[in-house]
């Protein structure tokens, strides 16, 4: 079982470039999440999707867009990357009111 798979694992962008972080889960979970983690800090929720076709903003949604492509996949897009978006990004999934399972993260650097 792969669980939650994120691609890419590492990425360097120049300021103003765009990119999409991919996430897929094979656990048939309804809910999916995108978090960012800055050094020495906890995880902050960027966007959340309760089910296919629905998305909702989290604590820090500015500068990001998401797409819940189908039940398995939930992508995060940076339209115009900024140095403040340098972070480690985690995707997670869960069923209703159970623990969330996390991917291994994408380490993004914006220069």
Binding site for other proteins (CB under 8 A): 4, 31, 33, 35, 40-45, 48, 50, 56, 58-59, 90, 92, 94, 96-105
Q: Which residue, 19 or 45, has its beta carbon nearer to other proteins?
A: 45
- List the one residue out of 42, 26, 54 whose CA is nearest residue 90: 42
Nearest distance, CB of residue 94 and other proteins, angstroms:
7
With 0-12 / 13-18 / 19 or more C-beta atoms within 10 angstroms meaning exposed / middle / buried, residue 90 is: buried
Q: Contact at 8 Å (CB) between 99 and 3?
A: no
Q: What is the rounded CA–CA span in Å between residue 95 and residue 79?
A: 29
Q: Which residue, 4 or 21, has its beta carbon nearer to other proteins?
A: 4
- For the record, the structure tokens of 33 come out as 């999440």
Nearest distance, CB of residue 15 and other proteins, angstroms:
26
Nearest distance, CB of residue 24 and other proteins, angstroms:
14
Q: Contact at 8 Å (CB) between 93 and 84?
A: no
Q: Which residue, 14 or 40, has its beta carbon nearer to other proteins?
A: 40
Q: Which residue, 17 or 45, has its beta carbon nearer to other proteins?
A: 45
Nearest distance, CB of residue 55 and other proteins, angstroms:
12
């Amino acid at each position: 079982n792969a669980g939650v798979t994120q691609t890419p694992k590492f990425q360097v962008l120049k300021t103003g470039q765009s990119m999409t972080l991919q996430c897929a889960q094979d656990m048939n979970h309804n809910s999916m999440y995108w978090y960012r983690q800055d050094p020495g800090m906890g995880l902050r929720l960027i966007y959340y999707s309760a089910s296919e076709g629905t998305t909702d903003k989290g604590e820090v949604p500015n500068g990001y867009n998401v797409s819940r492509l189908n039940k398995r996949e939930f992508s995060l897009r940076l339209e115009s990357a900024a140095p403040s978006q340098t972070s480690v990004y985690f995707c997670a999934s869960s069923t209703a009111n159970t623990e969330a399972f996390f991917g291994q993260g994408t380490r993004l650097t914006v220069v």
